[in-house]
């Protein structure tokens, strides 16, 4: 099964599905409502990261329950959408970035399923390059730049970053900054699921932009790119193989001490 973790608006992919079913998945970390979509010969589990109506702030998301729910449904590969700010003037609002690395600056999140075991997972390729390649191959439907690669910085939120923080992230090699990729990506890897983020640049970050951040502008860009993002997800889903053997599915083979 293919999983999609998305924000507000992306749930409209259900309008392209042949059928839709809502299911509540009970996990040891909490209950999660998931939409099961039939798209061609594929079943897709759509999970709204911020809950129905975009009501849960990023620092309060139950990431462990979300990932466990998808795992229990049989999801093996996840595409996750994110709204991000750009740290680079060459990556402007409306761009789509397919990151290949991350910097984790979250501070108070439940980061691992292995609190009571000595498990060290490899992060040489933090995101699934096979899945990233499939998304890139189907990105012809996007109007505007699609950036292959880059480092996404994840902050705790819910506040935006300070100018000094943005300067630091740039010095460290960050390309874009958001609040939702982690620990989501790590938890998915711990459960041996392919995971690839699709980051939509909604604004230049603090001090990169000549003006103060305006949430109305952020929502405006996301609304403008929504149709393209849904089409990108839909096209990629149609092209993905239902049966695939990926290195991500064997990440725990050498992780035990």
CATH of the domain at 51: 3.40.50.1580
In a domain, 246, yes or no: no
Q: What integer is the mean pLDDT of 106-123?
A: 95
- Identify the pLDDT of residue 8: 59
In a domain, 163, yes or no: yes
Phi-psi region of 224 (alpha: psi -120 to 50; beta: other; left: phi over 0): alpha
Query: Model confidence over 20-70: pLDDT tens digits?
Result: 899 999 999 999 999 999 998 999 999 999 877 678 999 999 999 999 999
- Identify the pLDDT of residue 79: 98
Q: Is 49 annotated as a binding residue?
A: yes
Give the residue with greater pLDDT, 218 vs 79: 79
Residue ranges making up the domain that contains 10 = 2-240
Give the residue with greater pLDDT, 23 vs 211: 23
Cα dist from 2 to 56, 103, 219, whole Å: 24, 26, 27
Element (H, E) at 65: helix 63-73
Q: Is 68 annotated as a binding residue?
A: no
Q: Is 151 annotated as a binding residue?
A: no
Look at the chain and report how many structural domains it folds into.
1
Percent of the chain with pLDDT over 90: 81
Residue 80 predicted with pLDDT over 80: yes
Secondary structure (3-state) at 227: helix
Residue 145 predicted with pLDDT over 70: yes
Percent of the chain with pLDDT over 70: 98
- Share the mean pLDDT of the chain: 93
In a domain, 257, yes or no: no
């Amino acid at each position: 099964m293919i999983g999609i973790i998305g924000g507000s608006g992306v749930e409209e992919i259900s309008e392209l599905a042949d059928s839709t079913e809502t299911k509540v998945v009970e996990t040891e970390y909490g209950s999660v409502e998931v939409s099961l979509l039939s798209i061609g010969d594929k079943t897709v589990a759509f999970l709204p990261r911020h809950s129905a109506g975009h009501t849960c702030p990023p620092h309060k998301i139950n990431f462990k329950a979300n990932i466990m729910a998808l795992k229990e449904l049989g999801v093996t590969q996840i595409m996750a959408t994110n709204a991000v700010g750009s740290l680079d003037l060459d990556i402007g609002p409306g761009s789509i970035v397919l990151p290949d690395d991350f910097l984790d600056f979250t501070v108070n999140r439940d980061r691992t399923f292995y609190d009571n075991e000595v498990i060290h997972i490899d992060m040489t390729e933090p995101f699934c390059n096979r899945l990233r390649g499939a998304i890139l191959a189907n990105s012809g439907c996007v109007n505007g730049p699609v950036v292959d690669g880059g480092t996404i910085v994840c902050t705790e939120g819910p506040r935006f970053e300070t100018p000094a923080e943005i300067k630091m992230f740039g010095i460290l090699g960050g390309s874009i900054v958001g609040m939702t990729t982690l620990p989501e990506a790590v938890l998915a890897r711990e459960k041996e699921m392919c995971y690839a983020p699709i980051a939509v640049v909604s604004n230049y970050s603090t001090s990169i932009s000549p003006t103060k951040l305006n949430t109305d502008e952020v929502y405006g860009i996301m609304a403008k790119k929504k149709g393209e993002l849904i089409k990108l997800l839909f096209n990629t889903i149609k092209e993905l193989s239902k049966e695939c053997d990926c290195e991500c599915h064997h990440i725990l083979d050498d992780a035990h001490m």
